Amino acid sequence: ATANKAKNEKFITKFAQVYTPIVVFLAVLVAVLPPLLMHEPFHKWIYRALILLVISCPCGLVISIPLGYFGGVGGSSKRGILVKGSHFLDILAEVKTVVFDKTGTLTQGVFKVSKIVPKNNFSQDEILRWAALAESHSNHPIAKSILEAYGKEINPSAIQSQEEIPAQGIKAKIEDHLIFVGNDRLLHEENIEHDECQFNGTVVHVVIDKAYVGYILLGDEIKEDAVKAVQDLRSLGVKNIVMLTGDNKAIAKNISEKLGLNSYFAELLPEDKVSILENLIKEQRSGKVAFVGDGINDAPVIARADVGIAMGAIGSDAAIETADVVLMTDAPSKVAEAIKMGKRTSKIVLENIGFSFAIKGVFIILGIT
């Protein structure tokens, strides 16, 4: 936290370096000039000069500002929000755009196989088996859900090779067959003919030896407090709430409408998320942009945002390490609470500065006169 001090903290330190010599010089003038010019007794004006020094000492400012931020960081951590420096409390107070990742952030990130649609004389069991074999070495939530639905032991000797294609799926050699398991982008990349592209759910296509054999549809539920999170952010003055996802447009549109978001961007690669966030930052005329995510592929976007927020409970180590703020529970409503803490802390710090200056100004005049 000491490496990320807020601007107000740095200002007070610099201010004290200038303010203290000026006050000491003023005290010398108070001690010397009235006795010399007005023939007043020295002891009276030396006493007043000492009073002036005691009153004007900037300890109230220098102590109250860091303690204000210390209270903000501590108060946030009591609420399960870890802020990695007072600087980020100031940025949170200025947030006007919040960008959410979808899976694991606004949604549960726990997929369930809801439907298996076979093609070309294949059965549902066969499609699920080939998909489970291909996904057996992946730790992606989709892979885990397919393996859970399959529910049988995987024979490792059947898998000759396996390659994970980022943001597309899996390419594997199993029992001398070439298997592709992945999304629509993978099918287009490999020129595989298929009927449908848009599904109201996450879809995993299965291809055996370049022949399309069917797809598996998976469902992912919206988190209970996601709607509340959006409402709370609106009440705090956040004008623009955006969702980024690698899923198809149909899913993104459905979730966006349910939550009442301003906009969404679908079918994104990790690098696409970074470029979209950079555009949002450029378009932001006033205020700051926050990004909220949980996955490994969210780490670059978290790093690029004015303030990066990671989901701590199910978030990847990369996302948590990169983030400026970590939510220890995976409730999106905590984002609004973090912004509220930032606003409250900034308000208290500004009150401290104003109160200290006002009191010192009044008592310096009284001390001299």
Segments of 155-282 assigned E as strands: 159-165, 169-174, 177-182, 202-208, 211-219, 240-244, 263-265
Burial of 369 (0-12, 13-18, 19+ CB in 10 A): exposed
Q: Which of 369, 349, 365 is nearest to 89 (CA)?
A: 349
Residue 190 CB contacts under 8 Å (≥ 6 apart), including other chains: 180, 207, 210
Amino acid making up residue 29:
L
Amino acid making up residue 264:
Y
Q: How far from the centroid of its chain's Cα atoms is residue 332's Cα?
A: 10
Active site residue 298: no
User: With contact defined as beta carbons under 8 Å apart, do 244 and 268 qualify?
Assistant: yes
**Which member of 90, 101, 324, 330 is catalytic?**
101
Give me the long-range contacts of 122-127 (CB less than 8 A, separation at least 24).
122/213, 122/214, 124/214, 126/213, 127/206, 127/213, 127/214, 127/215, 127/216
**Which are the catalytic amino acids?**
101
